[in-house]
Amino acid sequence: MRMLSLEHEVFLFSLTETDPSNEAIQALGKVTTGFQWHKMNGLKRWLRLSLAAFSSRPFQTHWFYQRKADQHLHNWMNSLEPEVIHCQLIRMAEYVRNDHQIPRVIDYMDALSAGMKRRANLRPFWSKWLFLWEAQRLARYESIIFDYFDGQTIISAADRKLISHPARKSIAVVPNGVDAEYFKAKRSPSNEITSLAQESPGDFVLLFTGNMSYAPNVDAAKRLVQAVLPKVTTPGVRVLIAGTKPTAEVLKLAGENVEVTGWVPDLRTAYDEADIFVAPLRIGTGQQNKILEAMSMGLPCITTTHVMNGLPKETHENPPLQLAEDDAGTARAIDELLNNKQKRSAVGEESRTWIEKNSSWEAQTHALELSFVNSTIYKPEEATWRIKK
């Protein structure tokens, strides 16, 4: 939105569970021409979800849809007469799928059906069927909704392959970017960023960040603490888990060598404290922002091929990620970096350089603008979107 607002008028409509703070409204006001939100009715959400079994649409679309929100959005849209609608995620598609008079672009972001199927594989037998059922619904809906939109985007080529529509190759790949000036290491004594973890000379800090109520992150955090950390032989190693809404499972991981912070106002405090970023993710889809941020902060990153596949392929060089697929291999990679300061520093510098070359918001926003232009091609005399020169 910040990049788009430099050249265009951006109007944001958002669903919320609570009213946004004045600080949030002021911040969004800087990158939007107009902003409205609709506070969802919690009781109606659960009532609608209870009836979703009798529908063919995914449970997620029912959870995010309410008639009053639809009315709110369309009353505002009618007054704005937008030239292009950007729909974020298939969860919001029901709101604008039938607004055929306006060019619309849907951002799949991830292949949600594939992510749900992977989550099902880690569920106990009594709930596995429900996740598989939702995965089937999502896969069908991802294909159906494709034809209701004039343009489609997705975060990675790997996720595009997982959309079952026969024309999936036409989906534009628009990777995430990262603000490299914001996510920049500040480890000098004059650093204004306050350390999150308690300082202990000689300690090494392994970091994992994310929304700690999101199942793939919960699984990765548990794996790091319970399966990988015991295999690390380097002494004085601590794990820092930083992120909002930690579940009870994540909170239980806290201990002598493990800190769970919960919500962190400025995640740079966590990145700046760490020696290595470790993301042993094995489920979920899409591109991991946490990896981009950590690399931008000059941290060496240990992760999986699953995460690597979500990063842009249209680059001149592969990102300098340290890949490990199993627990023992992840522990060995950690020990190797912790015991080789020169390599640790070199990989961190390479990570920062790669971000500067390949993950600017300017480049990614240009690709998004192109999808907007393409969505208006069927009536070119009315197309007002143009690619920036």
The set of residues, in sequence order, having a beta carbon less than 8 Å from that of 117 and lying 6+ positions away, is 131, 132, 135
pLDDT at 315: 56
Of 7-11, 51-55, 176-180, 359-363, the least confident: 359-363
Mean pLDDT of 291-297: 93
- Could you tell me if 143 and 113 are in contact, meaning their C-beta atoms sit under 8 angstroms apart? no
DSSP 376: T
Residues in Cβ contact with 208 at an 8 Å cutoff, skipping those fewer than 6 apart: 217, 220, 221, 224, 239, 240, 241, 242, 277, 278, 279, 290
Q: What pTM was computed for the model?
A: 0.74
Which residue would you say has higher pLDDT here, 151 or 310? 151
Asked if pLDDT for residue 168 goes beyond 90, the answer is: yes
pLDDT of res. 378: 56
Percentage above 70 pLDDT, the chain: 90
Would you say the CATH fold of 204-359 matches that of 4-177+362-382?
A: yes
Q: What is the end-to-end Cα distance of the chain in Å, rounded?
A: 19
E strands present in the chain: 11-16, 34-39, 85-88, 104-109, 151-154, 172-173, 204-209, 237-242, 258-262, 276-279, 301-303, 322-323
User: For the chain, which residues make up each domain, given as ranges?
Assistant: 4-177+362-382, 204-359
What pLDDT, in 10s, does the model give residues 64-119?
A: 999 999 999 999 999 999 999 999 999 999 999 999 999 999 999 989 999 899 88
Between CA 334 and CA 340 the distance in angstroms is: 10
Backbone φ/ψ region at 311: left (φ over 0), alpha (ψ -120 to 50), beta: beta
Distance CA 143, CA 146 (A): 5
Instruction: For residues 300-317, give the mean pLDDT.
Output: 78
H or E element, residue 112: helix 112-120
How many other C-beta atoms lie within 10 A of the C-beta of residue 172?
A: 16
CATH 1.25.40 fits 4-177+362-382, yes or no: no
- Mean pLDDT across the stretch 15-44? 94
In terms of Cα–Cα distance, which of 2, 1, 105, 4 is closest to 387?
A: 4
Asked if the model's pLDDT at residue 373 lies above 50, the reply is yes
DSSP state for residue 20 in the 8-state scheme: P
Picking from 370, 178, 207, the residue whose alpha carbon sits closest to that of residue 287 is 178
Degrees, nearest 5: CA angle 227-121-125 = 100
The one-letter amino acid at 190: S
Instruction: Give backbone dihedrals phi and psi of 88, rounded to 5 degrees, phi first.
Output: -90, 110
Which CATH superfamily does the domain covering 204-359 fall into?
Glycogen Phosphorylase B; (3.40.50.2000)
Give 380's contacts (C-beta < 8 A, 6+ positions apart).
Answer: none
Q: How is the beta sheet containing 237-242 ordered, strand by strand?
A: 258-262, 237-242, 204-209, 276-279, 301-303, 322-323
Least confident of 50-54, 67-71, 275-279, 384-388: 384-388
Q: Which two tokens stand for residue 330?
A: 């992840």
